[in-house]
Amino acid sequence: MTTVPALAELNFVVIPLLSTSHLIPLTDMAKLLAQQGVTVTLLTTPRNAAQFTASIDRAVCSGLLIRVVELQSKAKEAGLPEGCENHNDVTSLNYRRQFFASIDMLQEQAEKLLEEMKPKPSCIISDAYVAWTADTADKFQIPRIVFDGMSCFNQMCMHNLYIMRDQHKIPESGAFVMPDLPDRIEVTKAQLPGYFKPPAAVFIQDIREKIRAAEERAYGVVINTFEELEQRYVDKFRGLKDGRVWCVGPLSLCNNDNLDKAQRGNKASFEREDSLKKWLDSWQAETVVYACFGSLGNITVVQFVELALGLEASGYPFILVIKTGEGQAPIEDWISKNDFEERIKERGLLIRGWAPQLLILSHPATGGFLTHCGWNSTLEGISAGLPMITWPLFAEQFLTERFLVHVLKMAAGVGSQSHVHLGMEEKLEVQVSNKMVKDAIKKVMETEKEGKEMRKRARELGEMAKRAVEGDGSSHLNVKLLIKEIQEFHLNQSAKMIYNAQISDVLV
């Protein structure tokens, strides 16, 4: 007789891509699973582990069965500069192949750890970009659940685009309608992710195809979204994946503690969070515009100038996050030479480096979010009930913009027209003027007409997001269903082993 494995006996092994925007949601997912009583083991390298150690330590102290196991980085062996353990550290396109090689080199030591692990691994929840986990899951005869960091809407768009590409049906110029979607979605080839536009991305095309092939072998898919946000797209995507799609988001909402919000992904570089709160407290409700392009997004100095001037001309108080590090000197020079920080100090705040985004978005004074449309940021904005100003840059961000503007009707675009390859931003001419930025902000922030409707819609979606993760919500239920799926998988495996053993005895 076989019995269902107890929750604590289940060990969900979580393997993120070593990139900040991928580490953050999968760390949240690790905590979310552990909150249901299962054991969770998160594998990453030391420098990446340091980004969320404090948050995990608090989770452990609260009684959760969660642990971080460190893999030794293979950056040097792969030909990367010393200490380059995170995709955000890859400053040149020329190093991207080496970065993915360093990821592949982690397989051997990860498998050794899995062999010795107690409790035994029950499944692997792997970032889709860590392709070797497909072979590892087969070796250990456990399910591999992939996490791709995109919405179901984007999953369906990508599915259709691959079909169009293989059939040579993507037009070289002009807008075209994406086929087989519940809504009319128009895009241009210039706005598609880089791997649909060779030869610019041909040097990593083979890596992308390997990732796709591994993804096709997955047992199922876990998505950082909630069903009420995009039910028609969830249904269509489930149809492609034999029903094994679990929508468990918004993952950011598992961070209820202010410290977790402030330290999510990194320690905020704004030295005194109380100063930030005091600044936000000084403004009326829903008047502040928060502008941030995420952990990977880069814009040229000329586009930064248009952004800065547009924020200034809008007349609204604003927070603008500025990246630090290599390549940012021209932006700092412009700020200094034009006394920008001094002249906007009465109603503008510049944050350099990492910002406590969840704290800012959830503050009552924040009324709009100017975003690059990365899915993490997008869902955080939706969860906060905020209308958005969209400025997509690369990857699937133009598709997400279409979702926000045309499907959810809670955003206005600044008019960005073309995908920007990471590391090749300087090759693109100015697309967005300060007037376009100002007009989009005013459209979203106005209290009448379109702005009023966007704000109402955003609030409704924010309430839906919160309900989804509560005790009887759709995402909470999906987490339980995922755990039950893994329990039943191992129950069936045990039953098969007993049956095969009995058959062998009979034959003997």
Tell me the pLDDT band of 264, cut-offs 50, 70 and 90. Answer: low
- Record the tokens describing residue 473, joined without a space: 């919500």
CATH class entry, domain 7-150+213-253+470-503: alpha beta
DSSP letters spanning 245-304: EEE---GGGG--SHHHHHHSSS--SSS-HHHHHHHHHTS-TT-EEEEE-TTT----HHHH
Cα–Cα nearest to 489, from 37, 249, 137:
137
Quote the CA–CA distance of 13 and 232 in Å, as a whole number.
Answer: 30
Tell me the pLDDT tens digit for each residue of 184-237.
Answer: 999 999 999 888 876 555 457 788 889 999 999 999 999 999 999 999 999 999
**497 to each of 90, 114, 123, 490, how far by Cα in Å?**
47, 21, 18, 10
Q: Model pTM? A: 0.92
CATH class of 266-467: alpha beta
Question: What count of other Cβ atoms lies within 10 Å of the Cβ of residue 78?
Answer: 18
E-strand stretches of 335-396: 348-352, 366-371, 388-390
List of residues 6+ apart from 488 with CB closer than 8 A: 4
pLDDT for residue 270: 45
| pLDDT, tens only, 455-468 | 999 999 999 999 99
- Mean of the per-residue pLDDT values of the chain: 90
Of 3-17, 34-48, 114-128, 141-155, which range is least confident? Answer: 3-17
Average pLDDT over every residue of 425-449: 84
Which parts of 22-89 are beta strand (E)? 39-44, 66-70
Question: Within 10 Å of residue 237's Cβ, how many Cβ atoms?
Answer: 22
pLDDT tens sequence across 408-426: 999 999 999 887 765 555 5
Measuring CA to CA, which residue among 359, 351, 353 is closest to residue 260?
359
**Partners of 369 in the beta sheet?**
290, 388
Same CATH fold assignment for domains 7-150+213-253+470-503 and 266-467: yes
In the chain, what are the domain boundaries? Answer: 7-150+213-253+470-503, 266-467
Kindly list the distances between the CA atom of residue 4 and the CA atoms of 1, 111, 121, 487, 494, in Å, as whole numbers in the listed order: 10, 26, 15, 6, 10
Helix (H) or strand (E) holding 320: strand 318-322
Per DSSP, the residues of 135-152 read: HHHHHHT--EEEE-S--H
Q: In this structure, are residues 253 and 466 in contact, taking their beta carbons and an 8 Å threshold?
A: yes
Cβ within 8 Å of residue 195, ≥6 positions away: 201, 204, 205, 208
Amino acid sitting at position 444: V
Question: Confidence band (pLDDT; 50, 70, 90) for 8?
Answer: confident
Neighbours of 472 (CB within 10 A): 8
Whether residue 145 is predicted with pLDDT greater than 80 in this model: the reply is: yes
* pLDDT on residue 269: 45
Rounded (10°) CA dihedral 61, 71, 323, 317? -20
Eight-class DSSP state of 421? -
